[in-house]
């Protein structure tokens, strides 16, 4: 639906002429961004450049890099000498020689992304017409692994490369790489029982979006630990594709807050023993807690399964060891906090059987050296900053490598420290965000670095002192030089409690402090999810485009989204929206005190949790005159159990908190122009949220705008739809914030 609120076309046309005149004043070599520059799929302007992906160390001297459309490359770390790990032409010829392969199909399969390689990249598995094939790269030999009408998913090699595991029809299967010697390790899967495969909520909220694999090889390749998820009591949710004449129906096992979760079991089975029974890990002590198994692995000697368990509301976390033969389990340690406990990852084992763990026990995530009984031997790091990743420990040198925020909460740096906690040293020099991958021997690391104005670059560094060994990808981006981009400024703004909130401000390129500008505020706001970061993001380009239209762009991370320790997030417990909004208003108090800000023309935009915050702000405050809410949660009873109950508890334990936190129930208090945006096939945050909110707004007699994207998920996916969304957003901003230089996308199209 579209409301009747519109700027007169004469006013928009006048703004367009003014913008064109001003744009011609600048340098002849530089120009302003347009929506088409950033999002038109036909233009193919690369603002981020191209850096290799899939960076993985083969050994201490060589790593693997991948480029779109090409084979994985073996690269010598210090010299840059490279060679393809697989000849795609020879792979294509080997596939073409298989019986029944259609003309042209071999080339498409050979160059398809998604081949699964073994550990040393000497072999790969590819899929052809729903069956799996093994290709020995040196011998150039193809062996068929499966012959079944059912699809095989979650494919992996055993650590020794002799076997391939996969999931078919809900069961875990292993075959040797010689082909056609299958071992079906489970036989009770299918339907809503999954062995070795995650359901929607486990992959989305625990093991990582898009990762559905739920089995783990032992290091010696003899056993597999796996999860069995039983979703028979989990309510389903239907999603429709409305575009075909007969709508296509999808049904997802989706537990909403308060619903039954999947029932989980952890089993261990011999990887080469067809028909061998599963040894089930004893979880009886957790049954009443409706347990979540949130991490699984093995000790280095394959002697124990290492797993972590949480109660349903995630107020504690246990680290356990289990005997893979009997299933008997012992608890090593239990983590608790004053609110919820986050999963911090698996332990790193030392030769003496002790381990390094990440823990938020002080409210800040740090590294601890603990023994097999869970006693702390040393706090390896400490302070009011976070360790974000633990890379490894050089036991001979007594040194631990990690990434953390000791220098800046909006960046990320690489560090080393003594195992005893002494001698902390920052290895990375440039300010910004450094993402490190260390080789097995911890002598070198690959560093992917960027800052807010520089697209990613990759370098090889020495681990001992962080010195640069080689530039692996300088990634120059000539397109950026053609545009006059206003500079983002980082600020700190205190809230009413004195907490320093991180902020980013982008001023129009011809900023005049005597002029009063409208404000476009971007928000996410969810617990520990930062949007103010000294890192490259194409979203910043969109903000710079808005600034070129005469809008001040304001991005503020509320305290619970600051990334400044778990302790900063705990106050939001059981009450979404309230404290976040208070911080946003405190930020506006500072901003609107500046003489160049027009407090009557402030808009706010966000997606997902950010869409929730926009909806909450416009129904609980009168500070914003405009809002764009995309993919929004508008009633927390509509969202999934594991995410929602972590912060809000079960609805029956916090019913009033759920109602207060849900904008749907405050629709009558809407203030300002509102644009709702949602994908009709969003299986994550269901479109139901936006429709329920729209219905409540209609009942309250509140005008609003709405745009639904058919066939789209939580992210729109298709570049043409993203182009449409961004153009629509720009028009909405110009209409309601009325920047003096505003030009609609209609006028831009004629430039």
**In this structure, what are the phi and psi dihedrals at residue 669, rounded to the nearest 5 degrees?**
-100, 10
d(CA 67, CA 70): 6
723 in active site: no
Could you confirm whether 625 is annotated as catalytic?
Answer: no
Q: Tell me the C-alpha distance between 576 and 634, whole Å.
A: 11
**DSSP code for 423:** -
Q: Which of 640, 692, 630, 704 is nearest to 662 (CA)?
A: 692
Residue 99, sorted as left (phi over 0), alpha (psi -120 to 50) or beta, turns out to be beta
Asked if residues 340 and 573 have their Cβ atoms less than 8 Å apart, the reply is yes
Q: Are 348 and 356 in contact (CB under 8 A)?
A: yes
731's tokens: 């028009």
Q: Where are the beta strands (DSSP E) in 597-682?
A: 597-607, 626-630, 673-679
User: What is the distance between the alpha carbons of residues 675 and 685, in angstroms, rounded to a whole number?
Assistant: 17
Q: 263-270 and 223-230: which strand pairing? A: antiparallel
How is 501-530 classified by DSSP, letter by letter? EEEEEE--TT--TTS-EEEEEE----TT--
* Strand-strand pairing, 626-630 and 673-679: parallel
Choose the catalytic residue: 682, 686, 712, 736.
682
Q: Which of 562, 608, 632, 712 is catalytic?
A: 608
Q: Could you tell me if 55 and 473 are in contact, meaning their C-beta atoms sit under 8 angstroms apart?
A: no
**66: its two tokens:** 């991948």
Distance CA 588, CA 501 (A): 12
3-class DSSP string for 192-258: CEEECECCHHHHHHHHCCCCCECEEECCCCCEEEEEEEECCCCCEEEEEECCCCCCEEEEEECCECC
Name the 3-class secondary structure at 309.
strand
Q: How far apart are CA 97 and CA 67, in angstroms?
A: 27
Angle at which helices 578-592 and 609-620 cross, to 10°: 70
Task: List the structure tokens of 306.
Answer: 């290492």
Tokens coding 699: 């009942």
Closest CA to 328 of 310, 350, 307: 307
Query: What are the CA-CA distances from residue 472 to residues 411, 445, 454, 467, 476 (Å)?
Result: 21, 11, 16, 14, 12
Q: Is residue 332 within 8 Å of 372, Cβ to Cβ?
A: yes
**Cβ neighbours for 218, distance < 8 A, ≥ 6 positions apart:** 159, 224, 225, 271, 298, 302, 324
Q: Give how far Cα 434 sits from Cα of 408, 414, 477, Å.
A: 12, 7, 19
**Element housing 473 (H / E):** strand 468-473
Rounded Cα distance between 124 and 77, Å, is 23
- Give the separation between CA 398 and CA 497, rounded to whole angstroms: 41
User: Is 522 one of the annotated active-site residues of the chain?
Assistant: no
**From CA 77, how far away is CA 64, in angstroms rounded?**
10
Catalytic annotation, pick one of 134, 369, 714, 736:
714
Q: Which run of H or E residues covers position 720? A: helix 719-737
- Which of 427, 572, 583, 432 minimizes the C-alpha distance to 498? 583
Q: Please, are residues 475 and 456 in contact by the beta-carbon 8 Å criterion?
A: yes
| Residues with a known catalytic role | 608, 682, 714
């Amino acid at each position: 639906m579209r409301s009747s609120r519109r700027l007169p076309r004469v006013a928009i046309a006048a703004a367009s002429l003014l913008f064109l005149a001003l744009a011609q004043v600048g340098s002849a070599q530089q120009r302003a961004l347009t929506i088409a520059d950033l999002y038109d799929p036909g233009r193919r302007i690369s603002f981020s450049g191209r850096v290799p992906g899939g960076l993985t160390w083969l050994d201490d001297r060589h790593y693997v890099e991948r480029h779109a459309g090409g084979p994985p490359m073996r690269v010598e770390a210090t010299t840059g000498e490279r060679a393809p790990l697989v000849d795609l032409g020879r792979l294509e010829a080997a596939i073409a020689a298989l019986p029944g392969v259609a003309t042209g199909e071999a080339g498409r399969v050979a160059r398809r992304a998604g081949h699964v390689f073994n550990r040393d990249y000497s072999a790969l598995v590819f899929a052809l017409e729903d069956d799996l094939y093994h290709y020995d790269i040196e011998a150039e030999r193809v062996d068929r692994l499966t012959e079944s009408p059912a699809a095989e998913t979650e494919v992996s090699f055993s650590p020794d490369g002799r076997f391939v595991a996969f999931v078919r029809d809900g069961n875990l299967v292993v075959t040797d790489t010689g082909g056609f010697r299958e071992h079906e390790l489970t036989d009770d899967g299918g339907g809503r029982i999954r062995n070795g495969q995650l359901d929607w909520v486990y992959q989305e909220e625990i093991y990582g979006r898009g990762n559905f694999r739920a089995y783990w090889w032992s290091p010696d390749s003899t056993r597999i630990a796996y999860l069995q998820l039983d979703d028979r009591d989990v309510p389903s949710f239907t999603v429709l594709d409305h575009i075909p004449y007969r709508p296509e129906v999808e049904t997802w096992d989706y537990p909403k807050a308060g619903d039954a979760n999947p029932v989980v079991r952890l089993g261990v089975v011999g990887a080469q023993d067809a028909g061998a029974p599963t040894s089930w890990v004893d979880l009886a002590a957790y049954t009443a807690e409706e347990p979540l198994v949130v991490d699984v692995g093995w000790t280095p000697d394959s002697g124990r399964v290492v797993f972590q368990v949480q109660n349903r509301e995630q107020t504690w976390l246990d680290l356990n060891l289990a005997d893979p033969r009997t299933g008997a389990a012992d608890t090593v340690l239990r983590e608790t906090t004053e609110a919820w406990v986050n999963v911090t990852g698996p332990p790193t084992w030392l030769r003496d059987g002790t381990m390094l763990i990440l823990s938020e026990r002080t409210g800040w995530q740090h590294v601890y050296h603990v023994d097999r009984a869970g006693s702390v031997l040393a706090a390896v790091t400490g302070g009011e900053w976070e360790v974000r990743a633990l890379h490894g420990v050089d036991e001979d040198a007594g040194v631990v490598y990690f990434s953390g925020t000791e220098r800046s909460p909006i960046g990320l740096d690489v560090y080393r420290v003594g195992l005893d906690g002494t001698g902390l040293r920052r290895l990375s020099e440039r300010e910004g965000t450094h993402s490190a991958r260390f080789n097995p021997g911890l002598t070198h690391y690959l560093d992917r670095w960027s800052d807010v104005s520089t697209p990613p670059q990759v370098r090889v560094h020495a681990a001992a002192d962080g010195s640069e060994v080689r530039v692996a990808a300088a990634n120059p981006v000539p397109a950026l030089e053609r545009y006059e981009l206003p500079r983002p400024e980082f600020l700190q703004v205190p809230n009413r409690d004195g907490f320093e909130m991180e902020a980013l401000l982008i001023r129009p390129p011809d900023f005049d402090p005597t002029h009063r500008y409208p404000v476009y505020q971007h928000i996410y706001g969810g617990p520990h999810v930062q949007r103010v970061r000294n890192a490259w993001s194409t979203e910043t380009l969109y903000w710079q485009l808005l600034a070129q239209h005469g809008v001040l762009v304001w991005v503020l991370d509320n305290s619970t989204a600051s990334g400044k320790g778990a302790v900063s997030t705990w106050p939001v417990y059981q009450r979404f929206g309230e404290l976040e909004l208070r911080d946003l208003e405190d930020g506006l108090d500072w901003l609107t005190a500046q003489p160049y800000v027009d407090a009557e023309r402030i808009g706010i935009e966000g997606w997902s949790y950010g869409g929730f915050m926009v909806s909450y702000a416009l129904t609980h405050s009168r500070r914003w005159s405009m809002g764009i809410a995309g993919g929004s949660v508008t009633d927390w009873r509509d969202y999934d159990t594991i995410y929602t109950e972590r912060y809000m508890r079960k609805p029956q334990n916090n019913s009033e908190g759920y109602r207060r936190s849900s904008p749907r129930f405050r629709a009558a208090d809407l203030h300002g122009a509102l644009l709702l945006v949602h994908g009709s096939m969003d299986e994550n945050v269901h479109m139901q949220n936006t429709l329920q909110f729209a219905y409540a707004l209609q009942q309250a007699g509140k005008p609003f705008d709405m745009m639904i994207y058919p066939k789209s998920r939580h992210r729109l996916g298709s570049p043409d739809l993203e182009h449409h969304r961004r153009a629509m957003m720009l028009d909405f901003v110009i209409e309601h914030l009325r920047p003096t230089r505003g030009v609609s996308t209609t006028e831009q199209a004629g430039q």
